[in-house]
């Protein structure tokens, strides 16, 4: 029974990983997700191909994925617990490896935008600009949860600074 005057807040339990090949890690991921009762599972660098389709499903979760075509590496995926009402947003830009999901809010709560992105270390400035534009367009009126591997060598996360001198 809640204490008077204390509001209970709904929470999403999320996990993110850069897998560097999910091929031999699916069972371990499923065990962690079930043990921790995760609502969202975001993955970058899955390195899946058609031979992994049979093993990609996870009981109780919807799988959204954006595969890389024509070259190895990259790719992003998002598992969302089936009880959530979600739709994938079509970004229509193949320069950026991002997956955008809109999760409907419950009980008059705002919708949430979920994004998982992979930025290759060699990505050019044109693709970076396409990502910034895409992010601005999809996130306008929404609460945003953004995770990923951005491979930004000029950022010092310890000091919270960016630039050529880092």
Tell me what pLDDT residue 66 has. Answer: 85
CA atoms within 13 A on the CB side of 114: 27
Tell me what pLDDT residue 5 has. Answer: 54
Give the residues across from 63 on adjacent strands.
Answer: 79
Among the four given CATH numbers 3.60.10.10, 3.40.120.10, 3.40.50.150, 3.40.50.2300, the one describing domain 14-162: 3.60.10.10
DSSP string, 82-129: TTS-EEEE----TTSEEEEEEEPPSTTPPPEEEEEEE--TT--HHHHH
pTM value is 0.78
Q: Tokens for 52, please give them.
A: 């992994």
166 residues of the chain, pLDDT tens digit each: 455 555 555 678 888 888 887 767 777 888 888 888 899 999 888 776 665 555 577 889 999 988 776 666 678 889 999 999 999 987 666 778 889 999 987 766 778 899 999 988 888 888 889 888 888 888 777 788 899 998 887 778 788 887 765 4
| Residue spans per domain, the chain | 14-162
Say if residues 27 and 56 touch (Cβ distance below 8 Å).
no
């Amino acid at each position: 029974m809640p204490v008077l005057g204390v509001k209970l807040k709904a929470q999403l339990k999320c996990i993110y990983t850069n897998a560097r090949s999910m091929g031999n890690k699916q069972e371990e991921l499923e065990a962690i997700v079930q043990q921790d009762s995760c609502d969202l599972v975001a993955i970058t660098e899955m390195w899946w191909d058609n031979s992994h389709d049979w093993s990609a499903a996870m009981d109780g979760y919807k799988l959204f994925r954006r595969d890389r075509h024509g070259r190895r590496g990259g790719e992003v995926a998002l598992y969302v617990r089936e009880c959530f009402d979600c739709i994938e947003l079509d970004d229509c830009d193949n320069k950026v490896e991002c997956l955008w999901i809109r999760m409907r809010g419950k009980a008059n709560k705002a919708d949430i935008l979920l994004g998982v992105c992979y930025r290759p270390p060699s990505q050019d400035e044109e693709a970076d600009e396409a990502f910034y534009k895409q992010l601005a367009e999809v996130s306008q009126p929404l609460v945003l949860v953004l995770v990923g591997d951005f491979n930004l060598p000029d950022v010092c996360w310890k000091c919270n600074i960016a630039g050529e001198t880092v």
